[in-house]
Amino acid sequence: MSTQVTTTACHAENVDDAPESVESATVGAGLPDLPDGGDWGLMLGISAAEFAARSFSADSSGLQHARNFARNVLCEWGLTSHIDDAVIVIGELTANAAQHALPAPGPEETAPTAWLGLVRRHQAVICAVADPSPCLPRPQQPEQLSEGGRGLRIIEALSSSWGHSPPQSSGKMVWARVSTRPQ
């Protein structure tokens, strides 16, 4: 069972969705610019070989792209025995952001996006989703036959810990740590 913590801070199903390499989808490849023009990897203290990120939209193709991206990155990192659990966690994190944090665009507005980030650490992958909503996730007790309301419970079951950043007016980040220890 995992612990919730609040903090401060292979191949794709569709090959066209895959980054050419982890390097092509990492630091400096589409993350929002830092105010001082700095580098995300340097700011976070991680190298491109340990970090990958991409934006996604709330529609079904955006969520599928996020899962495919994660599957490809984890495969490139040699974490094939842990892909299924990590992709399920990522699917729940991204679906929660899409359902609860990404408002539907107006008729002439661009669809809002969120960010999926993956950080490779010793015997773990940190899966994080940053979205524009300051509303914090809250585990629910769904009805027994209900189809929804289990996302955070699934994340809790498949991760060693999960949590979120403090909410800001610009949004929050929800993360989960998935173990990659040999099974």
Pairing of strands 3-6, 124-131: unpaired
pLDDT tens for the chain, 183 residues long, are 444 333 322 433 333 333 333 333 333 333 454 445 445 555 566 776 788 999 898 888 889 999 999 999 999 999 999 899 999 999 999 999 998 888 776 777 777 788 999 999 889 999 999 998 888 887 777 666 666 667 888 999 999 999 998 888 888 999 999 999 987
Q: Which CATH superfamily is domain 1-17+60-102+113-140+148-183 in?
A: Histidine kinase-like ATPase, C-terminal domain (3.30.565.10)
CA-CA distance, 146 to 128, in Å (whole number)?
26
Pairing of strands 113-121, 124-131: antiparallel
Domain boundaries, the chain: 1-17+60-102+113-140+148-183
* Residue with the two structure tokens 């991409």: 54
Query: What pTM does this model have?
Result: 0.74
Pick from 117, 121, 126, 133: which is nearest to 163 by CA? 126
Pick from 112, 94, 95: which is nearest to 103 by CA? 112
Collapsing DSSP to helix, strand or coil, 180 comes out as: coil
Side chain identity at 157, as an amino acid letter?
Answer: A
